[in-house]
Amino acid sequence: MLASLGLILLCQLIGEAVARGLGLPLPGPVLGLLLLLILLMTRDRFTLLARGPLRNDGVETASKGLLAHLSLLFVPAGVGVVQKLDLHASHGIAITLVLALSVVVTLLATVLTFRLVSRLLRQQDAR
Amino acid sequence: MKDNPFSLWVYLSQSPLLWLTVTLLVYATTDAVSLATRRHPLCNPVLHAVWIIGAFLLLTGTSYTTYFAGAQFVHFLLGPATVALAVPLYENRKRVVASIVPMLVALIVGSVAAVVSVVLLAELAGLPRDVVLSLAPKSVTAGVAMGIAESLHADPSLAAVAVILTGIMGAIIVTPLMNRTGITDYRARGFAAGLAAHGIGTARAFQVDEIAGVFSGIAMSLNALVTSFLVPVAVTLLVR
């Protein structure tokens, strides 16, 4: 468990270092995600890597534990919004409406495109 | 302690322990309510935990800085949790690879829709220029959005507010909206949730379906990349 958490933190640390060092417009943790994914896939090829947290579902169990309460992790930042509401009160209603409409547009555009393209591909395969 | 009944409060309210405990207990309660209502969208645990804790801080006159000294331990885990998304992605990699084309097209269309719709609507609503710029990156995680806002000389704290509001509203709207469209493909539904509402949408997606969560996590990660390139371009084209 401890080694698995250590491995997750190490992936994030390397991700942050690379993102900062190279000035990439990508968050460090996303690079860390890629790194852990590559590690897991190379482990399947080379059994030599399957030790410590990469063995017996070690890092898998630790990751699922972290993800089980993903919602909780947004609470501290969310409370910051409540505290700043008065700061933007002059445009508060307009901003909220704009964001609500935009999130609906974004959700629909994304989901419809995804469905349309996967249906077109399936038709092509059928032919 | 006896000479001043407030001294205990003064001590506790300054220690990280109190606010960490409050954060965990309030969330545990709102999460239990959410579970009891079978994850009803309006019982979103983040939404209710946020206003209850916010009201508590207001009533006790506690500053956000003091609160954050305790809550930061929870906040810190956002980074490791993002890395941990690699595991469900790894376990479902075959389905992900099989969906790569619809994902990439939906990513481009969705990212453009997110940025263009918010900029046009904000201009239509007559919001001032610096507000429009701060709202533009609202569909990506707070850290990236604040970076984009900063590079545009907009207000990073307003950008963070827009991100959180978008996330919470997206997480509430997504299930009823998708049910209404009649789309039952959890790959598409999850991908839309993560693209439009970043991590809060992804947290919601994982509550609904594991496949939805996996695709949501991918959309969130990819959108962070696309949006950082897209916002500066969209802003020069669309903002007067």
Q: Could you report the per-residue pLDDT of B81-129, keeping only the tens digit for each?
A: 989 989 988 988 898 899 999 999 999 999 999 999 999 999 999 999 9
Nearest CA in chain B to A79: B50
pLDDT the model gives residue A55? 78
- Judge whether B50 and A75 are in contact, CB under 8 Å: yes
Structure tokens belonging to residue B143: 């850290």
Q: Residue B133: is its pLDDT beyond 80?
A: yes
pLDDT of residue B16: 85
pLDDT band of residue B1 (cuts 50, 70, 90) is very low
**Test the B interface: residue of A96, A107, A122 with most B CBs within 10 Å:** A107
Contact B82 A80 (CB under 8 A): no
A5, A37, A111: residue with CB nearest B192: A111
Question: What tokens were used for B123?
Answer: 């201009």
Residues B192, A80: Cα–Cα separation, whole Å: 26
What pLDDT does residue B2 have?
54
For residue range A87-104, list pLDDT tens digits in order.
Answer: 556 788 899 999 999 999
Q: How far apart are CA B159 and CA B139, in angstroms?
A: 10
A110's tokens: 């994304």
Cβ-based contacts of A125 with chain B (< 8 Å): none
Token duo for residue B59: 């009533």
Q: For residue A15, what pLDDT is reported?
A: 93
Q: In chain A, what residues touch B117 (CB-CB under 8 Å)?
A: 101-102, 105-106
d(CA B183, CA A46) in angstroms, rounded, equals 40
Q: How far, in Å, CA of B202 to CA of B219, rounded?
A: 9
Flag if B125 and A11 touch (Cβ within 8 Å): no
- Model confidence at A48: pLDDT above 90: no
CA atoms of A78 and B46, how far apart (whole Å): 8
pLDDT 10s digits, B167-202: 999 999 999 999 999 999 999 999 999 999 999 999
Rounded Cα gap, residues B110 and B166, in angstroms: 15
For residue A33 the two structure tokens come to: 């995600």
Asked whether B126 and B143 are in contact (CB, 8 A), the reply is no
Q: Is A23 on the interface with B (CB under 8 A)?
A: no
Query: B31, A72: Cβ pair inside 8 Å?
Result: yes
Angle between helices B186-208 and A92-126 (to 10 degrees): 130
Global confidence as pTM: 0.88
pLDDT at B226 over 70: yes
> DSSP secondary structure string, B151-167?
HTTS-HHHHHHHHHHHH
Instruction: Sort out which chain B residues have CB atoms less than 8 A from A98's CB and list them.
Output: 118, 121-122, 125, 127, 135
| C-alpha–C-alpha distance, residues B2 and B6, integer Å | 9
pLDDT at site A89: 66
Could you give the CA distance from residue B169 to residue B14 in angstroms, rounded to a whole number? 32
Measured between beta carbons, the chain B residues lying within 8 angstroms of A1 are none
Are the C-beta atoms of B180 and A110 separated by less than 8 Å?
A: no
User: What's the CA gap between B41 and B173, in Å, rounded?
Assistant: 7
Query: What is the spatial distance between Cα A127 and Cα B209, in angstroms, rounded to a whole number?
Result: 32
Cα B119 to Cα A98: distance, rounded to the nearest angstrom: 9
Angle between helices B210-238 and B142-151 (to 10 degrees): 10
Q: Which pLDDT value is given to residue A87? A: 59
Residues 82-141 of B with CB under 8 A from A: 82-91, 93, 99, 101-103, 105-107, 109-110, 113-114, 117-118, 121-122, 125-128, 131, 135, 138-139, 141
Which tokens hold the place of A82? 């409540």
- B202-225 confidence digits (pLDDT tens): 999 999 999 999 999 999 988 988
Query: What gap in Å lies between CA B144 and CA A98, rounded to an integer?
Result: 21
User: Contacts of residue A60 in chain B, CB cutoff 8 Å?
Assistant: 87, 91
Q: Which residues of B touch A20 (CB under 8 A)?
A: none
Confidence bin at A27 (pLDDT 50/70/90): confident
Provide, as residue numbers in chain B, all residues whose Cβ is less than 8 Å from the Cβ of A87: 157
Touching B: A residues 41-80, CB under 8 Å: 41, 59-60, 62-64, 66-67, 69-80
Q: CB under 8 Å, gap of 24 or more: what pairs does B114-117 form?
A: B114/A102, B114/A105, B114/A106, B114/B138, B114/B139, B114/B195, B114/B196, B114/B223, B114/B227, B115/B139, B115/B227, B115/B230, B115/B231, B115/B234, B116/B234, B116/B238, B117/A101, B117/A102, B117/A105, B117/A106
Give the orientation angle of helix B64-76 with respect to helix B45-60, to 10 degrees.
Answer: 150
Chain A: give the shortest CA distance to residue B84, in Å: 5
Q: Which of B219, B220, B213 is nearest to B144 (CA)?
A: B220
Q: CB-side exposure of A85: number of CA atoms within 13 Å?
A: 14
The C-alpha of B7 sits at a distance from chain A's nearest C-alpha, in angstroms, of: 25
User: Which residues of chain A neighbour B138 with C-beta distances below 8 Å?
Assistant: 99, 102
Residue among A9, A84, A109 minimizing CB distance to B113: A109
**Residue B71 pLDDT > 70:** yes
